[in-house]
Amino acid sequence: MSSPSAISRKLSKDFLWGFATASFQIEGSTDVDGRGKSIWDDFARTPGKTLDGKNGDLATDSYRLWKEDLDLLVSYGVKAYRFSISWSRIIPLGGRKDPVNEKGIQFYSNLIDALLAKGIVPFVTLHHWDLPQELHDRYGGWLNKGEVVQDYVNYAKICFQRFGDRVKYWLTFNEPWCIAVHGYGRGVFAPGRSSDRTRSAEGDSSREPWIVGHNLLLAHAHAVKLYREDFKPSQGGQIGITLNGDWTLPYDDSSENIAAAQQAMDAAIGWFADPVYLGHYPEYLKEMLGERLPELTPTELSVVLGSSDFYGMNTYTTNLCIAGGDNEFQGNVKYTFTRPDGTQLGTQAHCSWLQDYPQGFRQLLSYIWNRYRTPIYCTENGFAVKDENTKPVEEALSDHDRVQYFRGTTASLLAAAIEDGVDVRGYFAWSLLDNFEWADGYLTRFGVTYVDYETQNRYPKDSARFICQWFKENIEKDGPTEVEGIPVAASGLRAADAHLVHAVMA
């Protein structure tokens, strides 16, 4: 007979796991059934904006092949599927006075119905970077608080009205940091605004990202307010925001670099999480930006504070932090993967910004739990194998480095939940499919399923098999049990007095 501790080392039977995608990255069919343009359509078609010169017009053809993708999810045995809705399919011109596209609504309604029929929970993102182009042209998009907040809330309202009877998990935004910084600071994502005139004829990287971030917070908060007041009483769902942010470690044990690691967290995570969960911007952000950081008025703060039922966590890697530099988007901190002794933090991915360091995943979970005291859903986590795009399909399917990445992440997930008392309730690997990886085009592959872009055939990789088997083995099947005499539901209380501090890792 198994010992109680052996039985308890599993996730709750209610734990949601599955895979994630985003509308523009997989759907294609950009001019089909009344869809309007998003800011990514023409941006991706502009020479020099994607590494391979390709765009999202076809992607993985999932608007047409969604039933095949559903079959894939069923074969993997997932409990949930995180996908995003294209605002431009629902309201082609985007605005609150613009016509609604019934064909777009029908597409997502059919998908939701089919998921539920197969016992798969829809976990829906309302906005994954694809603002309707018309709203950018009409009034500046996310730069115009007076207009865009109202238009976004109207779009959200339509989704709540048409899908909310069946959708019980909503995400307002995916990674507002990326929208603001990459879209309006660095200029590498749509709409591509930047002070760098080699990238953009328009933009002010010193001010626009902070304005956009502020407006995204308000749009999120007002959509949540609407949902809670008008829809949650009858629909009973949950709503939150998903934020990107990777764990940071000091480069060495100097006080400057220890402080730098926290500055980086404040700039990446605290910028959005602190207002939502704590009611203010991080002090370091206010100190760094001064009057360039828009003020949260008392009226705005009353809507923003507490405007998320959970913490949506997108994370991929860990960075070593060195004090100094003028990169405000990283908190005036330099990132590196190279330790003082010259060794690398972990296995290098295809993209330069990602190495495998599973310990950081556990540490980040604990940091977020102890700082914000909010249930966590890991809404994205994944790895792009180096040069996978150049490998024949048979070789690409044996994705050892990605398997190792998920082996480490899942072990850290279990340890955080069971040993550290973190209230983590879901995990979505990125991504279900190889797909259009934004500015990287199709050169970077994050999928657990290989996509042959010539034929659109899908082939499961070893990583898909690993993840499916792991969750099959590590989720309770027979209801709640106990962890050393403490019910699972209450086990998070054991960490109530624990405060994770940045420490130098050997």
Handedness of CA 390, 394, 395, 399 (dihedral sign): positive
Bridging pattern class, strands 482-483 and 486-487: antiparallel
Query: What pLDDT is attached to residue 325?
Result: 85
Q: Is 476 an annotated catalytic residue? A: no
User: Where do the DSSP E strands lie in 315-422?
Assistant: 318-323, 333-336, 376-380
Catalytic annotation, pick one of 134, 328, 380, 388: 380
Tally of residues, the chain: 506
Higher-confidence residue: 504 or 302?
Answer: 302
Q: Out of 175, 208, 328, 437, which one is annotated catalytic? A: 175
Model confidence over 462-501: pLDDT tens digits?
Answer: 999 999 999 999 999 864 433 333 222 322 222 222 222 3
Q: Which amino acid would we find at residue 226?
A: L
Residue 478 has a pLDDT of 65
Cβ-count burial of 473 within 10 angstroms (0-12 exposed, 13-18 middle, 19+ buried)? exposed
Rounded Cα–Cα distance for residues 334 and 348 (Å): 18
- Tens-digit pLDDT profile for residues 130-143: 999 999 999 999 99
Give the β-pairing of 169-174 and 121-125.
Answer: parallel
Say how far apart CA 501 and CA 249 lie, in whole Å. 10
Contacts of 52 (CB under 8 A, 6+ apart): 440, 441, 442, 443
Q: Mean pLDDT, to the nearest integer, of 256-275?
A: 98
Residue 7 contacts residue 39 (beta carbons within 8 Å): no
3-state SS, 470-499, equals HHHHHECCCCCCEECCEEHHHHHHHHCCCC
Q: Is residue 27 flagged as an active site residue?
A: no
Q: Residue 460: is its pLDDT beyond 60?
A: yes
- Domains, the chain, with CATH or none: 16-474 (3.20.20.80)
pLDDT digits (tens, 9 = 90+) for 74-123: 999 999 999 999 999 999 999 999 999 999 999 999 999 999 999 999 99
Question: Mean pLDDT for the chain?
Answer: 93
